[in-house]
Structure 1
């Protein structure tokens, strides 16, 4: 209490200088500019919302979905997190990437320049060829690609992709891919995907 009273007395005498907010300036800054803080404001820390990428995905029933992913995430991860049924997915056929879930997607031609280029003779290129040959087969179009090879970036914001069909492909011993795209099963509901079961 005594300190508060002393503080009031000192303020009434105007002996204490007014406390100014700390401001940091570069070498050529004008310290007497009263509007400096208003013009530039404090630096904004990036948030997760600054890293969001929104893609419209047309499922195999023709329904549009607004799928949100993070920059640096693969489109396949964003599709899985959104909750598409596991009839849409199959394992990537790369030697080291068989644990990665993949999906056949149609990418609009205007976005092809924004999709990773895969060297056809690399391990990834051989996996892509194998997936087209063994899984997509005659459903391949000029715009076909695989979702695990599309790394989302700001340039993909607003892109529309379609989920492409695949040939009958047994994902679980309980049921086979037979054109049923509204299964309640979600990817990772079960601990493993039995490919050959």
Structure 2
């Protein structure tokens, strides 16, 4: 009992037999978002990124498993990279449809007739907790139709 009172005075909590400091600040783990990305050959890759990163940022960090063809140079120039991704039905309302320059960029980097309502630029999709566990696809693959 005295140990518990001392721990409370010092701002420590007792958990799993160890004393640890109380903390309200989020850790990196709290900001982690896990995605499954289906590549051009239909293989699934579980990748992780941080809230606030774009899908392009996450893909750049996993080029060793996703392959160089996952990204291309952006039509915007400035040595930036871009990718054409497909969103599942449940996320379509969360990301506005492609218009203007986005539509033109998608037409430039996508395969002919591959751009549809599910298409988005990877740089325009920002990771958030709502995306945790989502399946995204590169180009013409629709993994949610086969599940």
Normalised by the length of structure 2, the TM-score is 0.72
Q: Which residue of 1 aligns with 2:23?
A: 43
Aligned residues between the structures: 125
How far did 1:23 drift? 6.2
Assess if the C-alpha contact under 8 Å between 1:106 and 1:144 holds in 2. yes
How far did 1:88 drift? 1.9
Q: Secondary structure of 2:49's partner?
A: strand
Q: Does 1:63 align with 2:43?
A: yes
Select the structure that is richer in strand: 2
Q: Secondary structure of 2:116's partner?
A: coil
Structure 1: state its 5+ residue gaps: 1-18, 25-36, 166-197
State the alpha-carbon separation in 1 of the partners of residues 98 and 44 from structure 2. Answer: 32
Q: Secondary structure of 2:113's partner?
A: helix
Q: Which residue of 1 aligns with 2:108?
A: 134
RMSD: 2.5
Assess if the C-alpha contact under 8 Å between 2:36 and 2:47 holds in 1. yes
Assess if the C-alpha contact under 8 Å between 1:75 and 1:152 holds in 2. yes
Q: Which residue of 2 aligns with 1:80?
A: 60
Q: Does 1:93 align with 2:80?
A: no
Assess if the C-alpha contact under 8 Å between 1:114 and 1:156 holds in 2. no
Counterparts in 2 of 1:146 and 1:119: CA distance versus 1, 3 Å = closer
1:7-28 per-residue CA deviation (whole Å, 9 max, x = no partner) reads xxxxxxxxxxxx945368xxxx
Q: 2:119 aligns with which of 137, 144, 149?
A: 144
1:58-80 per-residue CA deviation (whole Å, 9 max, x = no partner) reads 11111111010100000011011
Structure 2: state its 5+ residue gaps: 15-20, 141-147
Q: Does 1:105 align with 2:48?
A: no
State the alpha-carbon separation in 1 of the partners of residues 108 and 132 from structure 2. Answer: 31
State the alpha-carbon separation in 1 of the partners of residues 120 and 97 from structure 2. Answer: 11
